Structure 1
């Protein structure tokens, strides 16, 4: 297990900014409003030649038992229990507060190494606040500015006494099929607010890892969790609910939505969760279209199925509805689930593995050419302005998603309807349900174009 450090402290002292600085990416949302971070987030940190796992936590705060604030506190306590050491962060510009003093006692009781970080120490006011922090009894404060990267050398010196240095291993080998199969499948769970995304992931984990609430918008960050299901690894991203752009007003929600969209682009398979009682609404269709444009394998999960009265033919009706509303991803797997009760989880995980395999599929060239000749013979391309369009041949250029180049004459004249015909025929012939299929048109070079006409 890698050495793990949890960042703790009261809200709005710069914990997420420090987290982003150490992992080298803007993974955690940062805003001036306190309480942005709710779930704990893990990342691989690098500080010089030191490598360790870092955990960003919600701000230490008190609340009534069972409240969202109290459950955020429980998430922080879990992070502390998992960590080997703690970064206790204070705001040096504000100085010590009663909350800092109370939570310093909390950190001491953890009986783990604690590094006191006086963040926002730039300037004279930061210097004074850092001096005040000696009163906490947690040792010498390390003055840093997570936003501007100041004090990282002093932080390195302190952390190096806890974490052994590691050497960077440069490995530029291409990933083998065996290595790809062993690597976790990256899965993003997306949907409208309150569709039950976090509840489903908690059931997969078998613990209350992610905060849930009847109130829409509980999840803000895109939180990644690692799970193993029947011997296969998955890295699953829980995301904030996606509403229509016209309804997004607060800056924080805009940041959350941008974070969710990044998770979609980073994923290999995307599960679109819909409420069984309000399925295939306009926003669901918009999200599905976004996933198709990003070229990700799509799974449709209809959640809260336990609330629907059982009737014969319901699943078949779902299939028909999906193909009607989402023709651009015809055949996309659709699974009825209940994240709360655990119904349909096996079918969902199996669908993810199958969709991932289809997304990576390569079609043999010989089979592709046989299909292409048959498809053209059955339905020749239309003539445009009295001139026949000539389709020469097609080849697959890459997978993830399956992408093809069609060589032809007059690429700009081929109708979109004919490309849809080819795409749907290819899906059916080579069993590519749901995954985006890309066909790029390229005009074949004229071998006689360079020759000059003979003079009369």
Structure 2
């Protein structure tokens, strides 16, 4: 796609609603509260036969450069500079405001094509606002309804008229390409043959990494340090990030997609609707990621919420990595490092051997080690083990520590194979699978980690019972009787309640 358009306007005019409409799905957070969007979010737009790249931006507000609103305005101006033109949204229902006139002056100074879009045109009294928009000197306003999808054909014609058909349709093939969403849906791992280790690990395959943690842990600063630019909005305020923003960068020739997420607070403290939407977007980013980096504050590590986030990642089956951020603020590093190692092993026993790296988002210290550990954990997360090796290992561990006897009956583990990867999952055929204690399952998982070098990733072990050839096919449980079958005569007499040995009555004498 050669055309890139920035969606700009003052707060609460419907920029994110139009972004979702053009994307064909709800990617950006939408709420009636002004100033929901703060970072600029790119996405692929589909408008009839027109394909282009769009950038959702924050609402323009007049404020100082050191304030949060001033930094949001800098992000909007950066989106205008990197785009080919702009879709300038105004609220036709409310009419023009001084903020609209200020943004129009900024766009005119850039000298790029601008399409004036009058949103909320379906509202009563919107005609006066559209007529008032002529004062901006940006041409005829295009009436649309981003919420209901009205006026999309007129918007398509206005974009083609402003940029030209050669620019909008560079080739016939690209005009009908499929739009790519902001978050790619992961493909399930294919089953592998039981006698091999599966395909080799592809180190050039793109990698999806989500950065999560509590508010004000330094997630956005860490990503900006990776990119080498102020791509995401940062500051001393807690809870700046709201949307899950995906950014791309190359690391040693490998494409990495990083997802910046909103800070996850305790569930009892999340009361506002907007924060609930942000948390839901962050949880969605965790589910679609492959590796999840949990950013912890080195000065106050392992709060209760940090442990809950790590446990959530393990239950979702993602590959976790811990990043102890703000390491530049620690004075006695050796003592602190030993303390962090002890706390990691003690508080996260469900992912024994989890990778933990000390980093500094402000200075860039430890970022190379962090990426090395992310690639290593991703390799382990995709690992497959042959069935032959697993069964030899099962015989060894069962001989060393046999399963316990439940109700006087010994459990027997017969067969083991790996049924999936991402994360690694194993199936064990055994007798009475519902009676295997949880302690013995933990013993098997810890032995798998140690013997096959799979530390720090979630492992799944399920039990199944073998098919009983004597079981009825209709699913009913029947116990075979050891007594001989009753004869027809005995069954008949039993049904009538009469005894077979009863003597016949004597015949009556005739007089």
- Which bin holds the TM-score, normalised by the shorter protein? over 0.9
The 1:241/1:128 distance shift into structure 2, 3 A limit, reads same
Give the C-alpha shift of residue 180 in structure 1.
6.0
1:179-233 C-alpha deviation (Å, 9 max, x unpaired): 9644421111111111111111111111111111111111111111111122222
The RMSD of aligned alpha carbons is 2.2
Q: Name the TM-score, length of structure 2 as normaliser.
A: 0.85
CA distance in 2, matches of 1:119, 1:312: 59
1:195 corresponds, among 217, 223, 240, to 217
CA–CA separation in structure 1 for the residues paired with 2:356 and 2:188? 34
What residue number does 2:267 align with? 245
The answer as to 2:77 corresponding to 1:77 is yes
The SS at the match of 1:271 is strand
Distance (whole Å) between structure 1 residues aligned to residue 298 and residue 222 of structure 2: 14
- Look up the match of 2:279: 257
**Equivalent position SS for 1:246:** helix
Partner of 2:413: 391
The DSSP-based 3-state class of the residue aligned with 2:409 is coil
Matched, 1:419 2:441: yes
One of 383, 387, 397 as aligned partner of 1:361: 383
CA distance in 1, matches of 2:49, 2:410: 64
| CA shift digits 1:410-434 (9 cap, x unpaired) | 2211111111111111111111111
Offset of 1:313 from its aligned partner?
A: 5.3
Supply the distance in 1 between the matched residues of 2:201 and 2:410 (Cα, whole angstroms).
Answer: 48
What SS does the corresponding residue of 1:424 show, helix, strand or coil?
Answer: helix
Equivalent residue number for residue 177 of structure 2: 168
**Map of 1:209-224 to 2, 5 A cutoff?**
209-224=231-246
- The Cα of 1:267 is off from its aligned counterpart by 0.8
Deviation per residue, 1:2-22 (Å, 9 max, x gap) = 321110000110101111111
The 3-state SS of whatever aligns with 2:469 is coil
Kept in 2: contact 1:49–1:168 (CA 8 A) = no
Gaps of 5+ in 2: 180-186, 191-198, 485-511
* Secondary structure in 2 matching 1:124: coil
Give the Cα–Cα distance (whole angstroms) in 1 for the partners of residues 189 and 396 of structure 2. Answer: 36
Structure number with greater Rg is 2
Q: Is the 8 A contact 2:2 2:52 kept in 1?
A: yes
Query: In the alignment, which residue of structure 1 is the partner of 2:182?
Result: none
- Whole-Å separation in 2 of the counterparts to 1:174 and 1:274: 30
Question: What TM-score do the two structures reach when normalised by structure 1?
Answer: 0.94
Indicate if the aligned counterparts of 1:318 and 1:334 stay in contact, CA closer than 8 A: no
**Residue deviations 1:69-110, cap 9 Å, x none?**
111111111101111121000111111112112211211222
Are 1:298 and 2:320 an aligned pair?
A: yes
Query: Aligned in 2, Cα 1:149/1:175: closer, same or farther, shift over 3 Å?
Result: farther
| Separation in structure 2 between the aligned mates of residue 203 and residue 174 of structure 1, nearest angstrom | 32
Give the stretch that moved more between structures: 71-80 or 434-443: 434-443
Q: What CA distance in whole angstroms lies between the structure 1 residues aligned with 2:335 and 2:404?
A: 40
2:11–2:35: 8 Å Cα contact kept in structure 1? yes
Query: What does the per-residue CA deviation read over 1:360-418, in whole Å, with 9 as the maximum and x for residues that have no partner?
Result: 11112221121111121111111111111122212111111111222222221111111
Q: Distance in 1 between matches of 2:47 and 2:178?
A: 15
Give 1:297-446 correspondences, 5 Å limit. 297-312=319-334, 314-446=336-468
Residue 501 of structure 2: aligned partner: none
Q: Kindly state the Cα deviation for residue 315 of structure 1 after the two structures are TM-superposed.
A: 3.3
In the alignment, what sits opposite 1:142?
142
Q: Point out the more displaced range, 304-313 or 363-372.
A: 304-313
| CA distance, structure 1, for counterparts of residue 204 and residue 132 of structure 2 | 51
